[in-house]
Amino acid sequence: MKSHFDFYQYIFSKPQGVAWHPENGFSPLEKSVNSEYALTLISPALSFDNVHAVLSALHKHCRILSVSLHPLSGLLSCYGLVVAVDITDTEAHIKELAAKLAQQFSMEIALTHLAPSLSEPGLLVMDMDSTMIQMECIDEIARLAGRYDDVAAVTEQAMQGKLDFAQSLKTRVACLEGVEESALLQIKSALPLMPGLVTLLTELKKRQWVLAIASGGFTYFADHLKAWLELDDAVSNVLALENGKLTGKTKGRVIDAQVKAETVVALQQKYNIAPHQTVAIGDGANDVLMMRQASLGVAFHAKPTVRTQADAAVNHLPLDALLLLLKP
């Protein structure tokens, strides 16, 4: 390939995909292929040299059957190159190698098995804080109340899985006793959406996907996002208020990791979605069970301990990169 333009032009002109050889590079595909496994390379700019280097490193661990550009490439914040493969090594080893190559070549690389498809209805269950929005709401409430340091430290430990979530929630909420409801209104009126969120939701709505929030955060913000973004469902914790002030307690059951996982099943059944068409995305230890419950669990800008337990990860790119992990 003489240039990046030639590379893109060639791939774009072959919607059925192309073949790849470590010595000869890309060539026309003799026949279409089907595979349960796919390696997806995602970046704002995928160069021929980088793609060839990544495939050269990976082909010793998986047989590369075809390479194609994801149809949504160019419509999103990044491009996705879908590599159909038959694995000849363990998934764990290939994912470990892919993570190192992703860091080396500044891209996202995900190995997926029987990924959900964009061509049929599905379910996306999303964590809220630091996934859908660029903040932890409880930390921001504490900031306005002058109690940020104490609450944020507990939040960080909970997200890393170092503290039991329910106990950590109780401890943090207790710090908020007496905070005026006006502080919640101030935060709710200016929730900073995660880059790529609106595009992600828009594309999935076009394809009749069910969109939901399962959050260890609070209904005050989750229900607002549900209405604002026209989502189908939202499950989160309820902050107790009396006389316009927080009581320092929550009401009802705590939405912890187990409840989040149960929510995936409940929503899948409620909306009659096939189990293989379920996706969960989040950033914290509280999201791991939910990710495992879904057919595809995606860690988003997550801690290493969370990334290693997810099926795939988006570490640096906007949320709409998730679309490129789904079959066209």
Residues belonging to the active site: 127, 129
CA-closest candidate to residue 211, choices 198, 192, 194? 198
Kindly list the distances between the CA atom of residue 181 and the CA atoms of 55, 149, 239, 240, 241, in Å, as whole numbers in the listed order.
54, 21, 10, 10, 8
Block residue for tokens 């909420």:
173
Determine the number of helices (DSSP H) and then strands (DSSP E) in the chain: 12, 13
**How does strand 123-126 pair with strand 278-282?**
parallel
How would you class 192 by CB atoms within 10 Å of its CB: exposed for 0-12, middle for 13-18, buried for 19 or more? exposed
Number of CB atoms found within 10 A of residue 327's CB: 14
- Say how far apart CA 137 and CA 250 lie, in whole Å: 15
Amino acid at 111: L
Amino acid at 204: L
